[in-house]
Amino acid sequence: MIKAAKIKEVVMQRLFRKKEQLNVGVDIGATFIKAVAIDKSKTPPELTAFSYEPLTKDTTASVKKAITKLGISNISVNTSISGPSVIVRIVEMPGMSERELKSAVKFEAERYIPYKLDEVITDFVKLEELTGGKISVLLVAAKKSVINNRIELLSGAGLTLRAIDIDSFAIMNAFLNSQKESKDITCALIDIGAKITNINIVSGEQSYLTRDIQIAGDDITVAIAEKLNLKKNKAETLKVNPVEQKNERAPIIKDAFYNLLNEIRLSFDFYENRYGKNVQKIYVSGGSSRLEGISDFIKDILSGDIVFWDPFNNINMSPKIDTAALEPIKASFAVAVGLGLRES
Ligand SMILES: Nc1ncnc2c1ncn2[C@@H]1O[C@H](COP(=O)(O)OP(=O)(O)OP(=O)(O)O)[C@@H](O)[C@H]1O
Ligand SMILES: [Mg+2]
């Protein structure tokens, strides 16, 4: 179980932390770069700029463009990574000192990481004392090559890296900020992007399970393209535009989306068996949460109330913000907002 404050400690690279009030979060997704600048000296924090930029083959140029659109110079940014190169596990270990834990964690990590230990950076946070003298520990491991690529990409775009986080922790950060009422129920945060779906099961300010599934919106596009014998860009248009070929597209989307939902169901089952509690609310975000009919698909496979939450809830909009442009794409900004709200 991860306390929110502890999550903030889990940073694999702590380069440097300036006491800057303007926090810049940059989420480099598989299809779109989402960037925000948030002024944390204001209460509530204020969104001063955002950008939403397609990721082209020239990734560096796309990042530069996204940052230029923020209209800020000389910036250091928070970013995050996710997917198969990042592993997060909550494990039980025998009680021991912090020093002993440091070396024990390396061996423990070996059991969970499908890479050689010298290929990864590991970090851990001791979470709590359990009965029987055991402790629970949050283990994080990330491939060095992925971290290095990200550092190179940002420096190639003229940026300084402030901190690297993990997508699901950033989503949780944005989620906790967006909720004012009691959070003491079990919520599943599900961010469905293009290539990856991030799952996070939280209760109060604690996370009980995080998992990245490599099935998302792109798999629906590919299924439409294959079944209807279309080029991918035509299939993408058909996916996001429910007016065309509605009857043909519906069963294909349903099948592809069920694959994802069944994977999510396995995570819910794991949580429910381990902790004896049910997921009560499902908070959906990510660009693919805009899929027409998504609520009905989810209801077929998962139980729990479905909420399409706004990552910008409890954040003021500066008068400079084009709110009409932001409105339809808000759901894609959970990671970027969480990064922009980081304490660092
Ligand atoms: N109206 C819509 N209906 C269905 N899907 C949509 C719609 N709008 C956007 N999408 C899908 O949302 C996805 C992009 O969402 P998002 O920006 O959250 O992903 P990403 O961050 O680029 O990817 P990832 O998180 O996998 O790295 C694409 O697969 C796109 O097809
Ligand atoms: Mg994403």
At 8 the pLDDT is 46
Q: Whose CA is nearest to atom 21 of ligand 1?
A: 29
Note whether 46 and 317 are within 8 A (CB): yes
Consecutive H or E run containing 36: strand 32-39
Consecutive H or E run containing 255: helix 246-275
Q: Over pLDDT 70: what percentage of the chain?
A: 92
Average pLDDT over residues 130-140: 89
At 340 the pLDDT is 97
Q: Ligand 1 centroid to 194 CA: how many Å?
A: 5
- Is the full-model pTM beyond 0.85? yes
At 182 the pLDDT is 64
Please give the DSSP secondary-structure letter assigned to residue 252.
H
Q: Are strands 281-285 and 186-192 parallel, antiparallel or unpaired?
A: parallel
Distance CA 124, CA 298 (A): 34
Consecutive H or E run containing 328: none
The answer to which of 101-110, 187-196, 199-208 has the lowest mean pLDDT is: 101-110
Q: Is the pLDDT of residue 113 over 90?
A: no
At 13 the pLDDT is 38
Distance CA 330, CA 151 (A): 26
Average pLDDT over residues 76-81: 94
Q: Is the pLDDT of residue 118 over 60?
A: yes
Please report which confidence band the pLDDT of residue 79 belongs to, taking 50, 70 and 90 as the band edges: very high
Average pLDDT over residues 57-70: 96
Ligand 1, CB within 6 Å, residue ranges? 29-32, 193-196, 216-218, 236, 239-240, 286-288, 290-291, 332
Note whether 163 and 154 are within 8 A (CB): no
pLDDT in tens, 156-176: 999 999 999 999 999 999 999
Q: Is 270 exposed, middle or buried (0-12, 13-18, 19+ CB in 10 A)?
A: middle
Q: Across all residues in the chain, what is the average pLDDT?
A: 90
At 244 the pLDDT is 67
pLDDT in tens, 23-53: 999 999 999 999 999 999 899 999 999 999 9
Q: Ligand 1 centroid to 313 CA: how many Å?
A: 20
Beta carbons within 10 angstroms of residue 10's beta carbon: 17
Please report which confidence band the pLDDT of residue 1 belongs to, taking 50, 70 and 90 as the band edges: very low
At 112 the pLDDT is 83
Own/partner pairs, 276-280, CB within 8 angstroms, 24+ separation: 277/186, 277/203, 278/186, 278/303, 278/304, 279/186, 279/187, 279/188, 279/201, 279/303, 279/304, 280/185, 280/186, 280/187, 280/304, 280/305
Q: Ligand 2 centroid to 336 CA: how many Å?
A: 9
Domains of the chain: 2-85+142-179+313-340 (3.30.420.40), 211-307 (3.30.420.40)
Note whether 260 and 192 are within 8 A (CB): yes
Q: Over pLDDT 90: what percentage of the chain?
A: 68
Ligand 1 binding pocket mutation candidate from 199, 233, 240, 335 (most atoms within 8 A of CB):
240
The answer to which of 87-96, 126-135, 241-250, 326-335 has the lowest mean pLDDT is: 241-250
Q: Is the pLDDT of residue 10 over 50?
A: no
Q: Whose CA is nearest to atom 20 of ligand 1?
A: 29
**Residue indicated by tokens 């913000």:** 321
pLDDT in tens, 201-219: 999 888 889 999 999 999 9
At 102 the pLDDT is 86
Q: Is the pLDDT of residue 4 over 80?
A: no
At 21 the pLDDT is 67
pLDDT in tens, 255-309: 999 999 999 999 999 999 988 999 999 999 999 999 999 999 999 999 999 999 9
Q: Return the ligand number nearest the Cα of 335.
A: 2
Average pLDDT over residues 119-128: 87
Q: Give how far the C-alpha of residue 3 lies from the chain's centroid of Cα atoms, to the nearest Å.
A: 17
Structure tokens that stand for 234 in this block: 């035509």
DSSP 98-120: HHHHHHHHHHHHHHH-SS-GGGE
Strand order in the sheet with 134-143: 86-94, 134-143, 120-129
